[in-house]
A and B are shown apart, each in its own frame.
Chain A
């Protein structure tokens, strides 16, 4: 007992990890709930089967054959009992397999059911971040952001998945199952959050060096908050108000940054890296790797390969006194 108690306690510890913002067991949307139900049904049925089998095995091990029994001798009553037991066992096995299969199909119907929603996003997986475009029938209301999706609570949102280089997989465990993003193809998946909150997602298909640092977050909020956020993201960047940020902007515009990054409302028009128009309003930079603070932005710009070795942003030579204005300019792009 002395040994078993701590061992049991240790076994229970990992369960503590399940209550988090990135957990299949912490389901917060219809698709994820279906998956979580399936998980628990499978676990309980299979655990029961396992326990019963183990009990039967132990009983068989304990009950010994009489010493002088003739193995070929048959006894009609035992024979009959055996036939019945085995038929029941086979019947139960078939029943289990068939009902679990049926259940899986039923779950798939729910998972792939298409509900009409007002919102469609195009999410493009790139090594190693997510480009997110909010589509709209009015071209001037279309906008692009990175690594942070906002959705209104309780509404189905259609996500179109594409990839620009290799295969990635979109996975927000608390909201949906996985769906691959494949080059030259468009896959679709719907997500819906039933409760407000912040859910973390992760690329789930190995895609190269920084696969582990290719996260995204989904912020589910009330309709009003969402609309406010959307209006703010549609707008162009507000020109810097103070001198330091003004200088930061000039530095940004004179460096290679503009070849890759876009800041709407300025001359920076690069389309191959995250749109920085409102980078300061996002919770994380570098695909969920660092929190958006001035210090982290500075650290990232000075040495992106120290944070994500092999990332597709080059180390750019900056004078020591250029870092602070640049970081504060970017941090201020709310």
Chain B
């Protein structure tokens, strides 16, 4: 009887095993999400800014898979061409806490989708909606605005020194050679 109890209790413990949900397959029929966060009230007077969230932002921000995909897409779609890796270049920096157009994930989605007047291109129709959310989640992670366990690590080539596992360039040997790209960063 005791054994049975212990056994069933330990089986019960398995229920606590939970893996993060990875949603690979975006819903093919939903159209654009319509989040609205106005930066300032439209009318004069004491009413607060309108906010209309669907909770989707949180889903993306707390999901390591989405953020990691966003990191990949950030390079693929050449955001780093204008914003560098968050430090800013011709576009404003993204890893500080100063935002021209708002730093909520909904604002960032809006920025990417619609573009902004002083040189931020619009990606509407060029990047599917779910990927825009993924990129926005990654942008949020740059300033550590996402839960720590969900944030992706920094790339090897972004570390100030060579990564630990990176050996100094070895001798050229049979069957292998080291291209300049692999040499240690100065």
**A interface residue numbers (CB < 8 A to B):** 112, 162, 179, 184-189, 254-256, 258-260, 272, 302-303, 305-306, 309-312, 314-317
The listed residue (B72, B130, B166, B177) touching A312 by CB distance below 8 A is B72
In the complex the two chains form, what is the Cα distance from A187 to B25 in whole Å?
A: 35
Given known contacts A184-B181, A185-B182, A186-B179, is B77 in contact with A254 (CB within 8 Å)? no
Can you list 20 contacts pairing A with B, beta carbon distance less than 8 Å?
Answer: A112-B175, A184-B156, A184-B166, A185-B182, A186-B177, A186-B178, A187-B175, A256-B128, A260-B76, A272-B76, A305-B24, A306-B25, A309-B25, A310-B24, A312-B72, A315-B128, A315-B130, A317-B28, A317-B31, A317-B128
Q: How far apart are the CA atoms of A187 and B181 in the complex, in Å?
A: 13
Q: Which residue of B lies closest to A258 (CB)?
A: B126
How many angstroms between the C-alpha atoms of A303 and B130 in the bound complex? Answer: 14
B131 at interface (Cβ–Cβ under 8 A)? yes
Within 8 Å of chain A (Cβ to Cβ): is B176?
yes
The reply to whether A185 and B26 contact each other, CB–CB distance below 8 Å, is no
Q: Which residues of chain B from 46 to 103 have any CB-CB distance to chain A below 8 Å in the complex?
A: 72, 76-77
Q: Which of B22, B130, B177 contacts A314 (CB 8 A)?
A: B130
Cβ-defined contact, A188 with B125, below 8 A = no
Given A185-B182, A256-B127, A259-B77, decide whether A315 and B175 contact each other with a Cβ distance below 8 A.
Answer: no
- Shortest CB-to-CB span from A128 to chain B, Å, is 13
Asked if B42 is an interface residue, CB under 8 A from chain A, the answer is no
Bound-complex Cα distance A189 to B156 (A):
27
Kindly list chain A residues whose C-beta atoms are within 8 Å of the C-beta of B24.
305, 309-311
Residues of B within 8 A of A306 (CB): 25
Whether, in the assembled complex, B11 has its beta carbon less than 8 Å from a beta carbon of chain A, the answer is: no
Q: Which residue on chain B has the smallest CB distance to residue A318?
A: B28
Give per-residue flags for B142-186: 1 if the beta carbon is below 8 A from chain A beta carbons, else 0. Answer: 000000000000001000000000100000001111110110000
Contact B128–A186 (Cβ < 8 Å): no
Using CB atoms, name the residue of chain A closest to B75. Answer: A272
Assembly CA distance A272 to B78 (angstroms): 11
Distance from B16 Cβ to chain A, minimum over Cβ atoms (Å):
25
For the complex, count residues of B whose C-beta is within 8 A of A: 26
| Residue pair B179, A188 in contact (C-beta under 8 Å) | no
Name the B residues within 8 Å of A255 (CB-CB): 125
What 9 A-B pairs come out closest when comparing CB atoms? A184-B182, A305-B25, A112-B174, A305-B24, A314-B128, A186-B179, A187-B176, A310-B24, A315-B26
* B25 close to A303 (CB less than 8 A): yes
A256-B125, A256-B126, A256-B127 are contacts. A186–B26 as well, Cβ < 8 Å? no
Q: Nearest-CB distance from A302 to chain B (Å)?
A: 7
- The answer to the question of B29 belonging to the interface, with a C-beta cut-off of 8 Å to chain A, is yes
> With the chains together, A317 CA to B25 CA distance in Å?
12
In the assembled complex, the Cα of A317 lies from the Cα of B166 at a distance in Å of: 42
Chain A residues whose CB sits within 8 angstroms of the CB of B179 once the complex forms = 162, 184-186
Bound-state CA distance A305–B25 (Å) is: 6
Task: Given A186-B176, A256-B126, A315-B128, decide whether A302 and B181 contact each other with a Cβ distance below 8 A.
Answer: no
Which residues on the A side are within 8 Å of B127 (C-beta)?
256, 259
Contacts of B128 in A (CB 8 A): 256, 314-317
Give the docked Cα–Cα distance between A189 and B174 (Å). 9
A123 CB, nearest partner CB in chain B, Å: 14
Q: What is the distance, in angstroms, from A242's C-beta to the closest C-beta of chain B?
A: 26
- Asked whether A254 lies within 8 Å of B130 as measured between CB atoms, the reply is no
The interface residues of chain A lying within 8 Å CB-to-CB of B72 are 312
Closest B residue, CB atoms, query A180: B176
Complex formed: what's the CA distance from A186 to B76 in Å?
A: 22
Q: For residue A125, give the distance in angstroms from its CB to the closest CB of chain B.
A: 15
Q: Which residues of A contact B126 (CB under 8 A)?
A: 256, 258-259
Residue of A258, A259, A310, A312 with most partner-chain B CB within 10 A: A259
Is A188 a contact of B28 with CB atoms below 8 Å? no
A188 to B175, CA, bound (A): 5
User: Which of chain A's residues has its CB closest to B177's CB?
Assistant: A186
Do B177 and A315 touch across chains, with their CB atoms under 8 A apart?
no
CA distance in complex: A314, B182 (Å): 31
